[in-house]
Each structure stands twice: as C-alpha cells, then as structure tokens.
C-alpha cells in the first residue's frame, strides 16, 4: 500500500503579519479556529508559534498552554508540535513550553544564515533542548536547513539524545540558506535512508513560492509535506491564501495527483511513534 502522506500545517510562524495577509492567525482564538479548518481539510500536525498582542513573536508558556488546550478541544487527535525556533526568544526561553508535553517540538541542530541574520543554534543550547524533549517525552522534528544537520541528528541519535528514529524535515528556499535544489533534495532523501533506514519517515518544507514545489517533490517521493501561512502567504503570485485550510487543500490536491492517501491522525501518530493512537 502507498504510504499515507502526513500533512503538517504551520499556522502562524514568527514573521508574517496581518498587514501581509489578514488570514494569518495571531491570537490564540484565531489560531484554534484556523487550525480546526486546516484539520478538517486534512492536516494532522499543527506546527505552532505564539505571538504577543502586537504580533511580535513570543515564547510565553501561558499562551502555548492556552493554545494546546484549545487544539485538544477542537481538533481531537491532531498532533501538536510547538516551535523552539530561534526567532521567538534567546537561549533557554526557546524551550520554556516543553514541560507542557506537546506531542512534538521542532529542533534545529545547527546554525545557518537567515534572510537578514544568523540563525544561531549553539551546541550547548541544542543539547539542552534535546534533553528537555527527552525528559518531557516530546518527539523532536529535526529541522534540516543543511546536509550537516541530518548527520548531526544521526550523531545525537547514536548518543542517546533522541529517543526514537529522528523525524527529519528538509527546509529549502530560505533566503541565504539552502535553496530548493532538486539534486540536493534527492541526496537528502538518500542520506536519511542510509542513516535511518529505507522506511524512515521524513518531510519537507519550502518557503514562499517553493512551498508548492517542495510539496510536489516530497509527495511524489514518498515523504510527508508541510504547508501553511508561516512559510508562504500566497496561493499564487497574484493571490493571497485566504486561510491555512486553503493551503492544506492545495497539498491534498497534490496527494491526489500522485495517488497518495492523506494520513488520518491515527495513521500519522502510528507512523511517528506518538502516544494516543
Ligand atoms: Zn516554525
């Protein structure tokens, strides 16, 4: 049977503002509503950041707790993945929400450039975030902005810093980091299979116009897919995406094109080895 495709919706992120696209959910209430529609459209992972009232990025654990409560109520079964990404805070504040025990959290294991700055992930912070995820039974999603990050995940796995096989996400199309390059993408897949086994699940995210491209490459290659307003606010060059759900629907259509069934939340939890199946 063809492996069902897990669709992750990255609902908010740190960067896009309502001035860029009014559909970007900012308050917890908006986030829950937007996620519920995306869940009904086929997404089974919600990748979430929280924001302050002025739309600036936040690491506020109380906001994360309120979001988790709302998602558990309105999207039962959906996998909740909280961001420990670098824009929301410095140092250990980035992992302050991990005691809430979300199903998953993003984990960047190395540094690289972002559009206007360095995305700093020093080794001691990476090790600390990984240890917190182990302590609170939170499965990391390894954000691979570069090939070295996949090999770093393998070293951490071998050292017992990551409990299960790492779930690696290839991120392509961030300005000044790895572009959406098909040969590199194919080598990423080859590397994941070599290090973690032929059946190890992996996923991919593209930024801006590359979102649909990476969805297409990942879905046609047996991987899982990420969409959402965090990474891309448009349906095409001239059209703002009206919602996260609309971007999920676009990803579902790509699954149909390649005859990949869309994973249910039960299938997604089973494939990722998460509790609650
Ligand atoms: Zn994020």
Return the SS3 of 108: strand
What letter does residue 99 receive in the DSSP assignment? Answer: G
Indicate the DSSP class of residue 98: G
- CA 48 to ligand 1 center in whole angstroms: 6
| Domains identified in the chain, total number | 1
Tokens of residue 21, six digits:
């696209």
What does R_g of the chain's alpha carbons equal in angstroms?
17
Give how far the C-alpha of residue 52 lies from the chain's centroid of Cα atoms, to the nearest Å.
21
> Which letter does DSSP use for residue 154 in this model?
H
Distance 182 CA to ligand 1 centre (A): 23
| Nearest-10 Cα torsion for 10, 14, 17, 18 | 50
The phi, psi pair for 165, rounded to 5°, reads -50, 130
Cα(244) to centroid of ligand 1, in Å? 14
The answer to whether residue 55 is domain-embedded is yes
What is the Å distance from ligand 1's center to 221 Cα? Answer: 23
pTM for this model (two decimals):
0.97
Question: Which residues are near ligand 1, the ion (C-beta closer than 5 Å)?
Answer: 83, 85
Taking the centre of ligand 1 as the mean of its atom positions, its distance from the CA of residue 227, in whole angstroms, is 11
Residues of the chain with pLDDT under 70: 1, 86-89
pLDDT of residue 90: 76
CA of 160 to the centre of ligand 1 (A): 25
Q: Are 226 and 169 in contact (CB under 8 A)?
A: yes
pLDDT tens digits for range 110-165: 999 999 999 999 999 999 999 999 999 999 999 999 999 999 999 999 999 998 99
Distance from the CA of 105 to the center of ligand 1, in angstroms? Answer: 10
> 69 in a domain, yes or no?
yes
Q: Rounded to the nearest whole angstrom, what is the distance from the C-alpha of residue 206 to the centroid of ligand 1?
A: 12
In a domain, 97, yes or no: yes
Distance 1 CA to ligand 1 centre (A): 31
pLDDT of the residue at 89: 59
Q: What is the pLDDT of residue 91?
A: 87
How many other CB atoms sit within 10 Å of the CB of residue 198?
A: 7
- What's the pLDDT at 87? 67
DSSP-derived 3-state class of residue 253:
helix
Q: Is there a domain that residue 2 lies in?
A: no
Q: Of 189, 202, 197, nearest to 142 (Cα)?
A: 202
**Span from the CA of 233 to the centroid of ligand 1 (angstroms):** 14
Span from the CA of 13 to the centroid of ligand 1 (angstroms): 5
Q: Tell me the CATH number at 196.
A: 3.20.20.70
Q: Is the CA virtual torsion 188, 193, 198, 203 positive or negative?
A: negative
C-alpha 140 – ligand 1 centre gap (Å): 13
* pLDDT of res. 168: 98
E strand segments, the chain: 7-10, 45-48, 50-51, 57-58, 79-82, 104-108, 112-113, 118-119, 139-144, 167-172, 202-206, 224-227, 234-236, 239-240
Cβ partners under 8 Å of residue 39, min gap 6:
9, 46, 75, 78
DSSP annotation of 112: E
| 163 Cα: distance to centroid of ligand 1 (angstroms) | 22
**In-domain check, residue 1:** no
Residues comprising the chain, all counted: 277
Cα of 222 from ligand 1 centre, angstroms: 23
Residue 137 forms part of a structural domain: yes
pLDDT of residue 275: 85
In this structure, is residue 277 part of a structural domain?
no
Q: Which structural domain range is residue 35 located in?
A: 7-272
CA–centroid distance, 255 to ligand 1, in Å, is 23
Asked if residue 240 is part of any domain, the answer here is: yes
Coil, strand, or helix at residue 206?
strand
Residues 75, 36: contact at Cβ < 8 Å? yes
Nearest to 44 by CA among 75, 89, 83, 90: 75
Give the distance (Å) from ligand 1 centre to CA of residue 114.
13
């Amino acid at each position: 049977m063809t492996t069902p495709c897990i669709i992750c919706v990255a609902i908010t992120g740190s960067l896009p503002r309502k001035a860029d696209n009014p559909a970007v959910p900012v308050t917890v209430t908006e986030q829950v509503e937007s996620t519920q529609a995306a869940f009904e459209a086929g997404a089974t992972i919600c990748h979430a950041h929280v924001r302050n009232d002025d739309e600036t990025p936040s690491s506020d654990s109380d906001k994360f707790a309120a979001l988790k409560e709302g998602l558990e109520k309105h999207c039962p079964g959906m996998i909740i993945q909280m961001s420990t990404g670098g824009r929301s805070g410095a140092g250990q504040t980035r992992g302050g929400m991990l005691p809430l025990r979300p199903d998953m959290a993003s984990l960047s294991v190395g540094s690289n450039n972002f559009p206007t700055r360095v995305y700093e992930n020093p080794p001691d912070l990476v090790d600390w975030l990984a240890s917190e995820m182990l302590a609170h039974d939170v499965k990391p999603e390894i954000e691979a902005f570069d090939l070295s990050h996949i090999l770093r995940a393998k070293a951490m796995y071998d050292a017992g810093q990551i409990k299960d096989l790492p779930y690696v996400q290839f991120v392509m199309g961030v300005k000044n980091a790895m572009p959406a390059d098909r040969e590199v993408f194919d080598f990423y897949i080859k590397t994941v299979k070599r290090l973690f086994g032929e059946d190890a699940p992996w996923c991919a995210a593209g930024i801006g116009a590359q979102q649909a491209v990476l969805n297409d490459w990942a879905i046609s290659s047996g991987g899982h897919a990420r969409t959402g307003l965090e990474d891309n606010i448009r349906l095409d060059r001239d059209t703002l995406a009206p919602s996260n759900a609309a971007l999920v629907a676009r990803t579902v259509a790509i699954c149909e094109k390649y005859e990949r069934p869309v994973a249910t939340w039960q299938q997604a939890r089973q494939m990722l080895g998460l509790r609650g199946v």
